[in-house]
Amino acid sequence: MLKIVPYPHPALRYPSKPITQFNGELKEIVREMFGLMYEARGIGLAANQVALPYQLFVLNITGDKESPEDELVFINPEIVKRTSTARDEEGCLSFPELYGKVFRAKRVRVRALDLEGNPFEVEADDLMARAIQHETDHVRGRLFIDLLSPLDKLAIGKKVQGFEKAFREAQERGEYAGDDELRRQLDDLASRSPV
């Protein structure tokens, strides 16, 4: 059973490992990730956000589970071209109710593998380009709050501290292991990568 883990769970800072096996377990993980994403009303979800240290994210920019034809799976994603920039608001399922304006490339070309392990490339712009950049950052252990302006970072400081406090309290209650143990689990999963 996967679940979306909140900031500052160490998985969110973990540089994930590439996937090299494309089996039923991988398909099961992807199915579960789409389910969690729809439930949380998101448009994208990276494996890091469910505490899995694999280079994988799912996307459906309609956010509508009745629109499965818009579902995309990116494995071992790499942005190979960035064009122009745009600043717009972003949120993240690891930071519920937190939003901030982030500069991103307006248009990107991304190279990835699909669920069968076949390489593909897509060009995307605007919302989809933004989502691809946000999710590709996740699998590198980077977060959108890193990209806010100094002023915006100050403005959200209290909320971020709130997330930190809530997570530490959840650890004290035993809902999550301590950071060292969580990192050990991530290392363990990553060493057994592919899933």
Pick the catalytic residue from 71, 123, 135, 164.
Answer: 135
- Nearer Cβ to Zn ion (75/92): 92
At its nearest, how many Å lie between Zn ion and the CB of residue 93?
Answer: 6
Residues 6+ apart with CB under 8 A from 105: 79, 82, 83, 84, 85, 86, 129, 133
In the window 17-36, what residues touch Zn ion (CB under 5 A)? Answer: none
How far apart (Å, rounded) are the C-alpha atoms in residues 155 and 112?
A: 35
Interacting stretch for Zn ion, rule CB under 5 A, among 17-25, 66-74, 88-96, 105-113?
Answer: 88-96
- Distance of closest approach, residue 137 Cβ to Zn ion, in angstroms: 8
Which of 137, 102, 99 lies closest to 12 in space, CA to CA? 137
For residues 16 and 47, what is the distance between their CA atoms, to the nearest angstrom?
9
Cβ-based nearer residue to Zn ion, 47 or 92: 92
78 is catalytic: no
Compute the least distance from the CB of residue 151 to Zn ion, in Å. 21
Sheet holding 72-92, edge to edge: 44-46, 56-59, 72-92, 95-113, 119-125
Q: Which two tokens stand for residue 182?
A: 């969580």
Task: Match 């100050």 to its residue by tokens.
Answer: 154
Q: Which residue is nearest to Zn ion (CB)?
A: 92
* 92, 102, 112, 128: which one binds Zn ion (CB under 5 A): 92
State which residue, 12 or 26, has the beta carbon closest to Zn ion: 12
Closest distance to Zn ion from the beta carbon of 118 (Å): 26
Nearer Cβ to Zn ion (40/190): 40
Contact predicate 176/182, CB 8 Å: yes
Give the x-and-dash track for 174-193 against Zn ion (CB under 5 A): --------------------
CA separation (Å) from 86 to 79, 105, 142?
16, 6, 19
Binding site for Zn ion (CB under 5 A): 92
Could you give the residue numbers annotated as active site? 135
